[in-house]
Structure 1
């Protein structure tokens, strides 16, 4: 619905910042209204992040007003502007560029891969335009957080990269790698022997009494969730002293209803957070329905809203 001259109906009662931010991304919004919205910080960030019709003058004003970070993440901003923002002194701005910028000019992605701030290199890993060579370079980055980002975003990494990450010196990198990559058979014994990766490696081996009685409750919980868990070990773990282990048995689809009911009845905790975690693991998470799209405002309605915000 285009902006046109009609008698404005009263606007619904909503959060003013949210209404202005919604107006800021409305299509076909007259440029004079966009300029006025730049005076409101939240609306300006929405303009910078989402509008596809930003002129050179608007872009310069957004940078001047301090919203370069949001602008850097807008894929519709001209390549030369995003390349310029790749050299911005604030790492958060360079992060926004790194996550989605194209290699324009050629070599820009390699430049970002050498950024002195590890957060920029971590954001770069999210960029789906990276070559295998750049991904491999980031997989051996000296900063563990960058290597952890590779694990999340390069799920089809080649064998040599997977092996390096599965045997990484950093414990968190090793643990995350085991959860993301299928370990080669020759590495599995070492991963099961490593206290850091033992629980994460359980799904790749056969359940055993040793695993079901491991001193680490995380190992026992992983064993309780194993798809090939024998009935005897299931019944043993149903009596485990740790409620999260027992809950893993209750969450199994092959657990008899009577046993599940008995386990759930005994899962007592004084922590609302623990109760939520326990129940969510027994029931698949359902995403909430998306919020309805904000109404498209007429020019007169937009003027009312801007006046309310003194814009």
Structure 2
């Protein structure tokens, strides 16, 4: 482990004496780790973190009491307001409403991921003039009121519509429009069910969705076995109801010139491997921490 990594690990060690935390603030990376993750920062430590230029990181620390975090909502710096917007509660009342009306779209983007948002402010963000903010609502809010869901599924921006169709189950009356829309048709297949027409769609992602549908009939499965697109064939190979002999014959055709594509193909068939997670570093005694700080010149 490098010296910088050791200092960052020490900065988030629980029950670390405040005087040692104070010394760690002199190291930029350790300071940011402490500012973001420590639960026991005193007002004096927080003021020093701000003075040293890490207000944005401190604003993102959800363990900082609301009485201290509220100040960041009025920061002149958009990145600081954005950092606090992601998780702040409405203390004092009106903080969330101010952030929802913030002039900077990045602040509203981060606010959309805040689990403390009331339904009325969620609806405001779902109609935000900036598409990225509406997309953030889709990405971070799975359970939205029916009017918000409808608004996002019929959004004027094609990317927002596609993302919304991937996340929300559409009302039955919207399904025909989603199937007719090239941006949402592949996602809508899961709600419409497989058909010969969809299995022959010119969009390979539509055919891939058909190939992965749980109700795919055997005749369409066999048809898609010979699809020209490798991802469509891979989807058939990944099905639990594909006969072993057929699966083996398909796997032999699943070759690409891209390591990334190969990884995605293997991931879908659960044949990939991930490296083991690195163990957490052991906690240091005060004597060991003092030695580390001395080695770093802190």
Q: What TM-score, normalized by structure 2, do the two folds share?
A: 0.96
Corresponding residue number in structure 2 for 1:260: 247
Corresponding residue number in structure 2 for 1:53: 40
Listed one character per residue, the Cα deviations across residues 12-37 of structure 1 (whole Å, up to 9, x for unaligned) are: xx121111111111222222211110
Tell me, yes or no, if structure 1 residue 24 matches structure 2 residue 11: yes
Give the match's secondary structure for 2:64: coil
Corresponding residue number in structure 2 for 1:299: 286
Corresponding residue number in structure 2 for 1:247: 234
Gaps of 5+ in 1: 1-13
CA distance in 2, matches of 1:271, 1:128: 39
Larger RCO of the pair (alpha carbons < 8 Å, separation 6+): 1
CA distance in 1, matches of 2:70, 2:233: 53
Listed one character per residue, the Cα deviations across residues 118-156 of structure 1 (whole Å, up to 9, x for unaligned) are: 121111111111111111111111111111121223322
Corresponding residue number in structure 1 for 2:224: 237
The answer to which of 54-63 and 240-249 deviates more is 54-63
CA distance in 2, matches of 1:284, 1:124: 38
Superposition deviation, residue 287 in structure 1: 7.2
Corresponding residue number in structure 2 for 1:131: 118
RMSD: 1.5
CA distance in 2, matches of 1:176, 1:60: 41
The answer to which of 145-154 and 125-134 deviates more is 145-154
1:70 pairs with one of 52, 57, 72? 57
Superposition deviation, residue 245 in structure 1: 0.6
Q: What TM-score, normalized by structure 1, do the two folds share?
A: 0.92
Native 8 Å contact 2:263 2:272 kept in 1: no
Corresponding residue number in structure 2 for 1:218: 205
What are the within-5 Å matches in structure 2 for residues 164-183 of structure 1? 164-183=151-170
CA distance in 1, matches of 2:61, 2:147: 35
Aligned length: 298
CA distance in 1, matches of 2:42, 2:147: 46
Gaps of 5+ in 2: none
Tell me, yes or no, if structure 1 residue 106 matches structure 2 residue 93: yes
Native 8 Å contact 2:4 2:29 kept in 1: yes
